[in-house]
Amino acid sequence: MTHDSSASEAALDPAAGDDAALDDAATVAPDLDLTETEDDVARERALRVGLEEFELDEEDQALLDSEWADDQGDGDEVLPVLAIIGRPNVGKSTLVNRIIGRREAVVEDKPGVTRDRVSYPAEWAGRRFMLVDTGGWEVDIAGIEAKVAEQAEVAISLADAVIFVVDAAVGATATDERVVELLRRSGKPVVLCANKVDGASGEADATFLWALGLGEPHPVSALHGRGTGDLLDAAIKALPTKSEYGSLRPAGPRRVALVGRPNVGKSSLLNKIAGSERVVVDDVPGTTRDPVDELIELRGIPYWFVDTAGIRRRVHQTKGADFYASLRTAAAIDKAEIGVVLVDASNPLTEQDIRVIQQVVDAGRALVIAYNKWDLMDEDRRPFLEREIEKELVQIQWAPRVNLSARTGWHSERLVPAIERSLASWDRRIPTGKLNAFLGELVAAHPHPLRGGKQSRILFATQASTRPPRFVIFATGFIEAGYRRFIERRLRETFGFEGTPIEISVRVREKRRR
């Protein structure tokens, strides 16, 4: 995202009128031509042939052979349900994150963090299914823990198969044995997961779990990924081809999380967009604690807007209600597709503002930065704000910027075009032929610098996924971080990835020995 001086001055002056480029959201990205030419296809074919001379592992081959699905999941498919069950703090959410391949479930090194039944679409060996994370199941408890255990029992009743997670280092406890009774009464297929097995000694501990009578315990380290493949193979065998409990999962509206530090106006903005007093607004920071969902139709398109608690400081430094509010906010960001980060434009940018923005980026979500309270900013503050943005957010210049006032509604309508552009970029896929043609021209004009007397050569590139766009580059040597940033910058300039983080990973491969 680039700014010329006249555009920047106009963006800082609300008196400039509606016709001026008051912020980046007022601009419209040009239509992109992502059609592959015959030359692009021929180049891709030739590069694939050349890649056969290099040592590739099974994961490489799977990536190269995979057929891209342009849709992001069938909206009319009923998927079988696989529930993760176990007592508190045995690593259920860590295992969920490992299976779905991203940090989705909230994980904390203390029992009882997960409370609700949360479902995630997942895939293994070509089979798609719904994965259900649950709170820990305990006996003879009261209060909120009893409700958590009840939710776990509901998850068992609504699942087609169950993965029962046991801490192999601790062994089977009385609670585990009670869970076994519960599972037997349910009559559901059960796969036994012996978690926290990091080596040979742990595997010996896992063998003691045969005594539970659930069949072979699968030794796994959910934290490091050890053994999860064998566990999933067994789970897929246990899952029926036709679900008895799965429900129709529609594509549904896009989810937008409103995030920021306390008292920047998130609830006020949601009320203004919704056109009603949907959430409580008060001058006291921290009024909102639980994420509040509101379905709002904007320009004929429905969106789920989620108002979240303000992020005060690092999660591990918070206590009590603030601690759980921070966890819920982090979960809301992870469940959303785009984060709209509100910043108080009338005050200097803080470390918390930058941390919140980075949290959205680290979660791999699309991003829009909304500079709120524009009506409260005095004339002397405006040039300082522009300098702060250039200095503190230099690595996130790609994020669309909207200047608005949630209190008065000034320019709040400009939020929607910015959200649409960021989501379009988040979903964007570059055809493999066009991507390699782009890289070929880029490397020819700006080759990778010599390193140790040798020059790394890019062999092939492919886009592994979207949401966010993730690119994998095969090369003959290490690609320096500066050159990766250069590739990312040119990708954005060429293909318009405005409002989305981009991940670029490099796989160094050597030639096959003759």
Q: Summarize pLDDT for 3-34 with one digit per residue, the tens.
A: 433 333 333 333 333 333 334 433 334 457 78
Task: With a cut of 80, say whether residue 67 has pLDDT above it.
Answer: no
Q: Say what angle helices 351-362 and 320-335 make with each other, to 10 degrees.
A: 40
Chain-centroid distance of CA 503 in Å reads: 12
pLDDT (0 to 100) of residue 252: 65
Task: With a cut of 90, say whether residue 479 has pLDDT above it.
Answer: yes
pLDDT (0 to 100) of residue 245: 66
Are 135 and 154 in contact by the 8 Å Cβ rule? The answer is: no
Task: With a cut of 70, say whether residue 474 has pLDDT above it.
Answer: yes
- Range of lowest pLDDT (57-66, 138-147, 182-191, 332-341): 138-147
pLDDT (0 to 100) of residue 415: 93
Give the confidence band of 507 by pLDDT, cuts at 50, 70, 90. very high
Give the confidence band of 323 by pLDDT, cuts at 50, 70, 90. low
pLDDT (0 to 100) of residue 400: 96
CA distance 406 to 275: 12
Give the confidence band of 326 by pLDDT, cuts at 50, 70, 90. low
Q: Which residue is listed with tokens 């009338």?
A: 346
Residues 6 or more apart whose Cβ sits within 8 Å of residue 370 = 269, 340, 341, 342, 343, 401, 402, 403, 404, 415
Starting at the earlier edge strand, list the strands of the sheet with 161-167.
118-124, 127-133, 81-85, 161-167, 190-195, 217-219
Specify which residues 470 forms β-bridges with.
465, 503
pLDDT (0 to 100) of residue 341: 96
Task: With a cut of 60, say whether residue 197 has pLDDT above it.
Answer: yes
Top pLDDT among 175 and 423 is at 423
Nearest to 260 by CA among 337, 359, 167: 359
Nearest to 369 by CA among 360, 380, 379: 360
Q: How would you write 286-343 as a 3-class SS string? A: CCCCCCEEEEEEECCEEEEEEECCCCCCCHHHCCHHHHHHHHHHHHHHHHCCEEEEEE
pTM: 0.62
Judged by DSSP in three states, 364 sits in: coil
Give the confidence band of 70 by pLDDT, cuts at 50, 70, 90. very low
Range 423-434 average pLDDT: 94
Written as six digits, the tokens of 208 are 């003691």
Q: Summarize pLDDT for 214-243 with one digit per residue, the tens.
A: 899 999 998 888 899 999 999 999 998 877
Task: With a cut of 70, say whether residue 513 has pLDDT above it.
Answer: yes
Nearest to 391 by CA among 363, 450, 446, 349: 349
Range 184-194 average pLDDT: 90
CA distance 51 to 29: 36
Give the confidence band of 314 by pLDDT, cuts at 50, 70, 90. low
Q: What's the longest Cα–Cα distance across the chain?
A: 76
pLDDT (0 to 100) of residue 137: 63
Are 458 and 448 in contact by the 8 Å Cβ rule? The answer is: yes
CA distance 130 to 144: 26
pLDDT (0 to 100) of residue 438: 96
Q: What is the mean pLDDT of the chain?
A: 79
DSSP class of residue 226? B
Written as six digits, the tokens of 262 are 């306390």
What separation in angstroms does the CA of 286 have from each of 206, 289, 344? Answer: 46, 7, 15
Written as six digits, the tokens of 438 are 């782009």
Chain-centroid distance of CA 158 in Å reads: 26
Written as six digits, the tokens of 93 are 């959410």
Q: Are β-strands 292-298 and 301-307 bridged in parallel, bridged antiparallel, or unpaired?
A: antiparallel
Residues 6 or more apart whose Cβ sits within 8 Å of residue 15 = none
Are 209 and 176 in contact by the 8 Å Cβ rule? The answer is: no
Top pLDDT among 5 and 429 is at 429
Range 92-121 average pLDDT: 62
Top pLDDT among 19 and 85 is at 85
Nearest to 332 by CA among 91, 106, 96: 106
Q: Are β-strands 127-133 and 118-124 bridged in parallel, bridged antiparallel, or unpaired?
A: antiparallel
Give the confidence band of 457 by pLDDT, cuts at 50, 70, 90. very high
**Percentage above 70 pLDDT, the chain:** 76
Give the confidence band of 466 by pLDDT, cuts at 50, 70, 90. very high
Written as six digits, the tokens of 244 are 């008895």
Judged by DSSP in three states, 427 sits in: helix
Give the confidence band of 373 by pLDDT, cuts at 50, 70, 90. very high
pLDDT (0 to 100) of residue 182: 84
Top pLDDT among 128 and 199 is at 128
Q: In what helix (H) or strand (E) does residue 416 lie, and over which residues does it extend?
A: helix 415-427
Range 409-418 average pLDDT: 92
pLDDT (0 to 100) of residue 36: 86
Task: With a cut of 90, say whether residue 397 has pLDDT above it.
Answer: yes
pLDDT (0 to 100) of residue 368: 98
Q: Are β-strands 301-307 and 254-259 bridged in parallel, bridged antiparallel, or unpaired?
A: parallel
Q: How many CB atoms lie within 10 A of CB 283?
A: 6
CA distance 55 to 509: 6
Q: What is the DSSP string of 488-506?
A: HHHHHHHH--TTS--EEEE
**Percentage above 90 pLDDT, the chain:** 39
Task: With a cut of 50, say whether residue 130 has pLDDT above it.
Answer: yes
pLDDT (0 to 100) of residue 181: 86
Range 49-77 average pLDDT: 72
What separation in angstroms does the CA of 112 have from each of 87, 119, 140, 302, 387? Answer: 9, 18, 15, 34, 44
Q: Summarize pLDDT for 255-310 with one digit per residue, the tens.
A: 999 999 888 888 889 888 877 654 433 443 443 333 456 778 888 888 988 877 66
Residues 6 or more apart whose Cβ sits within 8 Å of residue 508 = 456, 475, 476, 477, 478
The radius of gyration of the chain from alpha carbons, rounded to an integer in Å, stands at: 25
Give the confidence band of 320 by pLDDT, cuts at 50, 70, 90. very low
CA distance 326 to 324: 5
pLDDT (0 to 100) of residue 27: 39
Written as six digits, the tokens of 8 are 């920047």
CA distance 505 to 484: 9
